[in-house]
Amino acid sequence: MKSLNSLMIASALVIGLCSTTLVAAAPHFSPQGPFYGNNGTLSIKLPSSFQAQVTCGISLSGSINTQDEAKIHSVFISGSGICKSLQAKNLPWILKPENVFSLKLEGVSFVVSNFVPASNCGANDIFVTWNGPLQKLSAFNQALTGNCTLATLDITLQPPLTLVP
């Protein structure tokens, strides 16, 4: 009976240690604090462009307050034509690591209200790739509700952020 109790205690200890190791191994952001990205590009297809791909400039800023998520608080879209009217909405967008190379950007949405037809895209979660050494976020062919497609997103974040495994 004593050996059975010892075996059960040892098993529980091993399971507990393994669980702790798995939790500690989840990727997280470093360092905490503000970040920004300038001179990025955003290509999007939307009803206002009759599904033609429109390429705009994009800049953003945000902060990392907890290790497991970053919040994008402001997004500025630049360019001519529809780009002048394209606005990000549903901010803050939440950036969470899936692994050290892939992130989920939650709540992505855009609006164009002064074109006919108007566009109301999202809010959707999209998946972005992370090129850690270059600090570059990229996304390709992400569907958004409202008959919109985020064709590409490329932006480099500063200061250098790290995803720690």
pLDDT digits (tens, 9 = 90+) for 125-158: 999 998 876 588 999 999 999 999 999 999 999 9
Q: Is the pLDDT of residue 58 over 90?
A: yes
Kindly indicate the confidence band of residue 84, based on its pLDDT and cuts at 50, 70 and 90. very high
Q: What CATH class is the domain 28-164?
A: mainly beta
Extents of the domains making up the chain: 28-164
- Mean pLDDT score, 87-106: 92
Contact between residue 77 and residue 87 where contact means Cβ atoms under 8 Å apart: yes
Contact between residue 77 and residue 57 where contact means Cβ atoms under 8 Å apart: yes
Q: What is the pLDDT of residue 73?
A: 98
- Mean pLDDT score, 85-98: 95
Give the pTM.
Answer: 0.81
Residues of 20-32 as b/e, b for ≥16 C-beta within 10 angstroms? eeeeeeebbbeee
| Token pair 């050290």 in the structure block, residue | 100
Distance between CA atoms of residues 164 and 99, nearest Å = 9
100 φ, ψ (degrees, to nearest 5): -75, -5
Kindly indicate the confidence band of residue 80, based on its pLDDT and cuts at 50, 70 and 90. very high
Choice among 38-42, 43-47, 156-160 with the minimum mean pLDDT: 156-160
With a CB cutoff of 8 Å and minimum separation 6, the contacts of 11 are none
Kindly list the distances between the CA atom of residue 5 and the CA atoms of 2, 11, 12, 101, in Å, as whole numbers in the listed order. Answer: 5, 10, 11, 43
Calculate the average pLDDT of the chain. Answer: 86
